[in-house]
């Protein structure tokens, strides 16, 4: 039986090249689940995002996510279920309607719910433990935290949002993060969203931001790594992945995260009551925020930020200046792990290194050439973290402290200094020297790493 279904669409700046859907390279991505360490392609094709490794579903998914105009596509009932993930949606909708499943281990008891609610009362504290909160919410930290922040900031009332649509959107977002990724998963997204909330509370921002600014910030934070495959952009480029071709090797992952977020916004109908003009503006500005998290653009953003601060010409009454500051805030939130307490920072460091090393293992297996920082035989967590802090985190947070010289900024810099000292101590124990910076950082493209002197 053939079913005709009107699919949501997503405009592109340019037509999708015909060769996007072909995967001719050193590696066949019809079997790329082996590369990514993911479920088989049939399972992957059930995801809502554009990443799919099943050739039979590739075209349908791209029509759904990336078409230039609304069209009717005739697909089988089985494929409709795949595209819209009805089963997952029905399970989540039953939960939020209060329909419990007997003897279900997925329903938390009152004690866990109570502890989670107590934690949310302190959601603005910098030492918020997102790992504990995720356990207390049975893996629903992103949904629970983001919904709470929407309510806390008055966004539900201000924008007249349907709470069921909001929950459905957040459930879809959380599900479209890859739980098997050690680092780029929904817990990381929740952590970044909580950090963004802390920055939005800073005096310079809180008195200047509009509800629209806050709305964009929280959505961008929650979706900034949506459908991340657990490998980096150079990996996608050198394996001729179709996403790299689609986005011409430029901000490949960030463009995909943005497009995936827009797809879920449209599918959920969360802002269907808004005018088309406002919805398009929202989608564009969310894209601006997410694209700012591309680490290869670090020099450009940091230079602009430093120039504004040197001239003292930032005016937060100017919408463009406010938007730029929100971009910098999201950049900070995205890489703020070294600025957390040692207990939290160390866990994040171990998780991101595990993801790096997993990519390196894949590259070794398929003779691709191991990417910088991804070789578990030559790298250590301490070396990687010291280089990361020196070249990326310290310059960014040093400038952020110039912009917002508050207790929070000083706390973050304090943790950063202590954590770096702790990693140097471990490095000395491992190598007998604490002065070496991981050479992999110095070997990377100079456009990626700011050439700044170390901060003491």
* Catalytic positions, written as ranges: 184
Q: How many angstroms separate the CA atoms of 327 and 339, rounded?
A: 18
Q: How many angstroms separate the CA atoms of 270 and 162, rounded?
A: 7
Q: How many angstroms separate the CA atoms of 230 and 358, rounded?
A: 9
Comparing CA positions, the residue from 35, 375, 39, 102 lying closest to residue 236 is 35
- For residues 220 and 330, the answer to whether their CB atoms sit within 8 Å is yes
Q: How many angstroms separate the CA atoms of 258 and 251, rounded?
A: 11
Strand partners, 73: 5
- For residues 316 and 403, the answer to whether their CB atoms sit within 8 Å is no
What are the Cα distances from residue 276, in Å, to 162, 271, 273, 293? 18, 9, 9, 27
Comparing CA positions, the residue from 278, 274, 289, 242 lying closest to residue 65 is 242
């Amino acid at each position: 039986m053939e079913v005709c279904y009107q699919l949501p669409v997503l405009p592109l700046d340019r037509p999708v090249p015909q060769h996007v859907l072909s995967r001719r390279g050193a590696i066949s991505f019809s079997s790329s689940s082996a590369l990514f360490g993911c479920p088989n392609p049939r399972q992957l094709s059930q995801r809502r995002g554009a990443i799919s490794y099943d050739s039979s579903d590739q075209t349908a998914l791209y029509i759904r996510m990336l078409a230039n105009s609304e069209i009717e596509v005739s697909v089988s009932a089985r494929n409709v279920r795949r595209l819209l993930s009805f089963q997952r949606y029905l399970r989540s909708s039953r939960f939020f309607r209060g329909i419990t499943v007997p003897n279900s281990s997925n329903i938390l008891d009152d004690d866990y719910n109570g502890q989670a609610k107590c934690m949310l009362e302190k959601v603005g504290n910098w030492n918020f433990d997102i790992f504990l909160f995720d356990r207390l919410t049975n893996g629903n930290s992103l949904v629970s935290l983001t919904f709470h922040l929407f309510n806390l900031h008055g966004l539900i009332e201000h924008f007249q949002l349907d709470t069921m649509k909001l929950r459905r959107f957040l459930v879809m977002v959380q599900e479209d993060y890859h739980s098997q990724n050690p680092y780029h998963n929904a817990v990381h997204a929740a952590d970044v969203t909580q950090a963004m909330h802390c920055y939005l509370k800073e005096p310079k921002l809180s008195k200047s931001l509009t509800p629209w600014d806050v709305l964009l910030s929280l959505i961008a934070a929650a979706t900034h790594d949506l459908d991340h495959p657990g490998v980096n952009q150079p990996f996608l480029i050198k394996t001729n992945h179709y996403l790299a071709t689609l986005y011409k090797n430029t901000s490949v992952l960030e463009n995909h995260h943005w497009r995936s977020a827009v797809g879920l916004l449209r599918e959920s109908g969360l802002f269907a009551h808004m005018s088309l003009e406002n919805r398009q503006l929202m989608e564009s500005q969310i894209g601006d925020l997410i694209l700012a998290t591309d680490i290869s653009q670090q020099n450009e953003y940091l230079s602009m930020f430093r120039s504004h601060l040197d001239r003292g010409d930032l005016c937060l009454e100017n919408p463009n200046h406010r938007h730029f500051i929100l971009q910098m805030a999201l950049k900070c939130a995205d890489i703020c792990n070294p600025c957390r307490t040692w207990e939290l920072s160390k866990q994040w460091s171990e998780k991101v290194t595990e993801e790096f090393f997993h990519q390196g293992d894949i590259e070794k297996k398929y003779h691709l050439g191991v990417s910088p920082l991804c070789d578990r035989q030559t790298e250590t967590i301490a070396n990687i973290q010291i280089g990361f802090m020196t070249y990326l985190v310290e310059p960014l947070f040093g400038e952020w402290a110039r912009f917002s010289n508050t207790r929070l900024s000083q706390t973050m810099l304090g943790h950063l200094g202590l954590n770096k000292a702790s990693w140097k101590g471990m490095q000395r124990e491992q190598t007998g020297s604490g002065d070496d910076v991981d050479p992999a950082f110095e070997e990377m493209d100079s456009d990626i790493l700011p050439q700044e002197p170390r901060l003491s």
